[in-house]
Amino acid sequence: MQENIKLLIELQTIDSIILKERNIIDLMPAKLLSADKSLKESQSLSDKQKQKYDLLEKKKKDKERLIEDIDERVKKLKSRTADIKTNKEYQAHLKEIESAEKERYAIEDETLSIMEELDTINKGLKTEEAALKAEKDKIEIFKKEVEEEIAEAEKKLGEFKIKRTTVVGSMDPETYDDYMVILEACNGLAVVEARDEICQGCYMNIPPQMFVEIKKNEDIIQCQQCRRILYWKEQNDVKD
């Protein structure tokens, strides 16, 4: 195999790894952001429930104050009973007490239903808080994993950049320039195998005469369709 073709295959292998590692690093912030977003959404739902709980708690206190006021009123009314002179006055007095007590019962009912609602919200909040805590723990673990993954990717990236410099140094500059143009135009894949008379970059058929030439691995031959550099890989040759 011609040395330049060998180097091109090597360079492509290195660049594919570099691209993959860069992708891992580039995609991480978005992954972290989406995990944080989901946590914030859960937190906001829980906060809303808490606000609802506080509001109801305040409403309950207001009702309790009202009941106290009525009790005070009834107490005062009852203390005046002895001073009543006429029957008519007495009837009116009883009616007033009765109406105050009726009002009290109604408010008590409302308070009870508020208490039931508070209880339901409280139970829900407890479940939500447990779920939130679990979610937070999960995200912490995920963040640690991401940090490790990025560190690993950066380490590998550094290693392969050094390897790349060595390979590029042994290549003739013109071939390297051509390679770079194709690499950029072809989504990071410039050198591909010509397997079974098919370009493994664009999967178009390779003309038989051209395939014969490619099989020699002597000249740099580009796919007529996608412009990628084609090479022949011996089926029994695992190395290249």
Which residue, 190 or 223, has its beta carbon nearer to Zn ion?
223
Q: In this structure, what are the phi and psi dihedrals at residue 206, rounded to the nearest 5 degrees?
A: -100, 130
Round to whole Å and give the CA distance between 46 and 129.
7
Which residue, 153 or 229, has its beta carbon nearer to Zn ion?
229
Q: How crowded is the C-beta side of 100, counted as CA atoms within 13 Å?
A: 19
Which residue, 171 or 186, has its beta carbon nearer to Zn ion?
186
Which residue, 159 or 197, has its beta carbon nearer to Zn ion?
197
**Residue among 225, 177, 217, 183 nearest 200 (CA):** 225
Round to whole Å and give the CA distance between 81 and 146.
79
CB of 233 to Zn ion, least distance (A): 15
CB of 170 to Zn ion, least distance (A): 26
Cross-strand partners of 192: 230
CB of 240 to Zn ion, least distance (A): 20
Do the beta carbons of residue 53 and residue 104 sit within 8 Å? no
CB of 191 to Zn ion, least distance (A): 11
Residues at the interface with Zn ion (CB under 5 A): 199, 201-202, 223, 225-226
